Amino acid sequence: MSDMFFKLWDAGLIQLGIWETIYMTLISTAVSYVFGLPLGVVLHITEQGGIAPVPWLNRVLGFVVNFFRSIPFIILMVSMLPVARFIVGTALGNKAVIVMLIIAATPYIGRMVESSLKEVNAGVIEAAQSMGANTFQLICKVLIPEAKPALLNGAVISMVTILGYSAMASTIGGTGLGQIAIIYGHQRSKPDITWLCVFLMVIIVQVIQVVGMRIVRKSDKRINK
Amino acid sequence: MIEIKNLNKTYRTADKEIVALDDINLTIQDGEIFGIIGLSGAGKSTLVRCMNLLERPTSGEVLLDGKDLTKLSKKELLKVRQSIGMIFQGFNLLEQRTILKNVCFPLEIAGADKTKAEARAMELLEIVGLADRAGSYPSQLSGGQKQRVAIARALATNPKYLLCDEATSALDPNTTRAILDLLKEINSTMGVTIIVITHEMRVIDQICDRVAVIDKSHIAEEGKVSEVFTNPTSEIAKNLILPRDRAALNTKGGRRVRITFNGDRFDKPVIAQMVLDCQTPVSILFADTREMEDCIYGHMILELPNDERQADKVMLWLQNNEISFRGEA
């Protein structure tokens, strides 16, 4: 380890970086789900042959989602700076980064949710319809609860993706492990710092994955116990 | 009473129309078990889905106790559906809910109080014999048990009608029998009118009072099960009811006759008596019996001797003894 590591560690920057990465990821994931879950539900139910088909709305939403998903995150970030300034009053720093992450993750999560809901057996929906369930009941009592394991699985994948995005945020002044890797590792030619950041990210991803999968397994009642 | 009047259902695809149901007229009386039999693709599943409007007919009326379902508002329709239970070939239980919660589900939909719903659900699980599995999840049950749960669930809201869409088609013969017995019991003790969709004749035999045979989107024939069984008039009904044995058709012998027995002749050794009286042997190419309405019905294909005189003698004997028969091609 170079002196740089001890300097950063003693200054608390690495610890702070870990925390910032984690908290940006968690907040962005949570807020993205607030928008992404309804978006995914609407994408699913308005489809032709869905439980509340509205083909034009489905096409419009589908187009918007595809539009945002086709822009690489780094470009999306710089192009959306005015939006961030409008929403949180600044185009710099972690606040702006979180806005960017949410803009990028919401369409992604929307698709994730949509594909999870597709896995719900159409027969179960039909059974609930035969009992007189309305659209709202179908969504809240059948679609989402029945898709729960798949939704949680999607959340784990989304969270890891968002974590990866957050590392790119140093471009617009975001902090966290990504910024440490770029500023102290790359720009000052200290590869050990870069690798340390990589290592720490790997650990965080592993923890998310292992804990997430345990929750998924526990939540799924289809497995014989 | 369910009355279906001039019902049509057409599916439109991009370039063609597919007729699923063509001018269907049916009346199902309260308290009966009504069977609808047909081969796959005949339109029977579409027909049963028109009874609770899971499929909206292209034209025609579906009258439930005189009320035309096709004219109801969405809200009224959802309410009416609570009085029509439905079970399916694939059971369609909610996999992430316990058995108890599955049975509570329709009550939840109807806005019932939770404790009352659970009490009612336990009562129903008791009836279907699965009270001890209330806390289990569907994946822990066998097919027959899942269908029992589905039946309990369908009955939770005290429906007047129960639609069964191929409810036993995924089950083995013994389980099928047990499920059908349960349906019959529900019909007689609770007075629920049951509509059974199936492609299997044994299902109709075992529980139905009346049957409609559906073929190529039409009702080919309709009537009391015992009548349709002993005297099928449509080609499709004959095929479904009187199975043809390939091997039997390939024999090169004399004339063949198909004999139909009904319950009261069964205690007499008819064929043996005939052979003794006519002093001529016959071959039995096919035989089958069925139990309907606590009576035994049977039919048998006999091959008569090559000698025309001997064969005529047998035919005459059958006539004189008032045994119903007809020539077979």
Q: Enumerate the residues of chain A whose CB falls inside 8 A of the CB of residue B151.
A: none
Question: Is it the case that residue A1 has pLDDT exceeding 70?
Answer: no
Judging by DSSP bridges, how do beta strands B256-261 and B84-88 pair with one another? unpaired
- Of all helices (H) and strands (E), which one includes residue B24? strand B17-28
Cβ–Cβ < 8 Å for B267, B229: no
B94–A225 CB contact, under 8 Å: no
Note whether A70 contacts B: Cβ–Cβ < 8 A.
Answer: no
B86–A130 CB contact, under 8 Å: yes
| pLDDT in the model for residue B42 | 86
Note whether A128 contacts B: Cβ–Cβ < 8 A.
Answer: yes
Range with the largest mean pLDDT of A100-109, A162-171, B266-275: A100-109
Instruction: List residues bridging with B327 in a β-sheet.
Output: B257
> Using one digit for the tens of pLDDT, what is the confidence trace for A181-224?
888 888 888 888 999 999 999 999 999 999 999 999 999 988 75
Smallest Cα distance from B148 to chain A, Å: 15
B139–A124 CB contact, under 8 Å: no
B92–A221 CB contact, under 8 Å: no
Neighbouring residues of A119: CB distance < 8 A, sequence distance ≥ 6: A147, A150
Tokens representing A34 are 């607030």
B140–A225 CB contact, under 8 Å: yes
What domains can you pick out in chain B, each with its CATH number? 2-238 (3.40.50.300), 242-328 (3.30.70.260)
Percent helix, percent strand, percent coil in chain B, to nearest 5: 40, 30, 30
> Using one digit for the tens of pLDDT, what is the confidence trace for A124-145?
999 999 999 999 999 999 999 9
- The count of CB pairs under 8 A between chains A and B is 80
| pLDDT in the model for residue B26 | 94
Percent helix, percent strand, percent coil in chain A, to nearest 5: 80, 0, 20
| pLDDT in the model for residue B118 | 95
Count CB-CB contacts under 10 A for residue B223.
16
**Residue whose pair of structure tokens reads 């409008």 in the numeric block:** A86
Residue of A nearest to B138 (CA): A222
Q: Counting every residue, how long is chain A?
A: 225
Residue of A nearest to B153 (CA): A131
What topology does CATH give the domain A3-219? MetI-like fold (1.10.3720)
| pLDDT in the model for residue A225 | 42
Predicted structure pTM score = 0.85
A133–B78 CB contact, under 8 Å: yes
B108–A141 CB contact, under 8 Å: yes
Query: Which region, left, alpha or beta, applies to residue A173 given φ > 0 means left and ψ of -120 to 50 means alpha?
Result: left
B106–A131 CB contact, under 8 Å: yes
Q: Calculate the average pLDDT of chain A.
A: 92
Residue of A nearest to B89 (CA): A123
Q: Enumerate the residues of chain B whose CB falls inside 8 A of the CB of residue A223.
A: 139
Q: Is A157 exposed, middle or buried (0-12, 13-18, 19+ CB in 10 A)?
A: middle
Listed by start position, the domains of chain A span: 3-219
Average pLDDT of A112-127?
Answer: 96
Query: Order of strands across the sheet with B33-37?
Result: B84-88, B161-165, B193-198, B33-37, B210-215, B218-224
Smallest Cα distance from A134 to chain B, Å: 7
Distances (CA, A) of B34 to A126, B67, B210, B275, B289: 22, 20, 5, 40, 21
Q: Which of residues 131-160 of A touch B (CB under 8 A)?
A: 131-134, 137, 141-142, 145-146, 148-149
The CA distance from B258 to A208, in Å, is: 73
3-state SS assignment for residue A154:
helix
Residue of B nearest to A134 (CA): B78
Considering only CB atoms, A123 lies closest to which of B92, B139, B163, namely B92
- More confident: B261 or A39: A39
> Using one digit for the tens of pLDDT, what is the confidence trace for B134-191?
999 999 999 999 999 999 999 999 999 999 999 999 999 999 999 999 999 999 999 9
| pLDDT in the model for residue A174 | 84
Note whether A126 contacts B: Cβ–Cβ < 8 A.
Answer: yes
Note whether A52 contacts B: Cβ–Cβ < 8 A.
Answer: no
Model confidence band, residue A154 (pLDDT cutoffs 50, 70, 90): very high
Phi and psi at A192, nearest 5°, equal: -65, -35
Cβ–Cβ < 8 Å for B286, B300: yes
**Tens digit of each residue's pLDDT, chain B (329 residues):** 999 999 999 998 888 888 999 999 999 999 999 999 998 888 899 999 999 999 999 999 999 999 999 999 999 999 999 999 999 999 999 999 999 999 999 999 999 999 999 999 999 999 999 999 999 999 999 999 999 999 999 999 999 999 999 999 999 999 999 999 999 999 999 999 999 999 988 899 889 999 999 998 999 999 998 888 777 888 888 777 766 655 555 566 677 888 887 766 566 788 888 888 888 888 888 787 777 666 777 778 888 888 888 888 888 888 888 888 877 76
Interface test with A, best of B95, B153, B157, B162 (most A CBs within 10 A): B95
Residue of B nearest to A220 (CA): B96
- Of all helices (H) and strands (E), which one includes residue B164? strand B161-165
Tokens representing B167 are 């409810």
Predicted complex ipTM: 0.86
A129–B81 CB contact, under 8 Å: yes
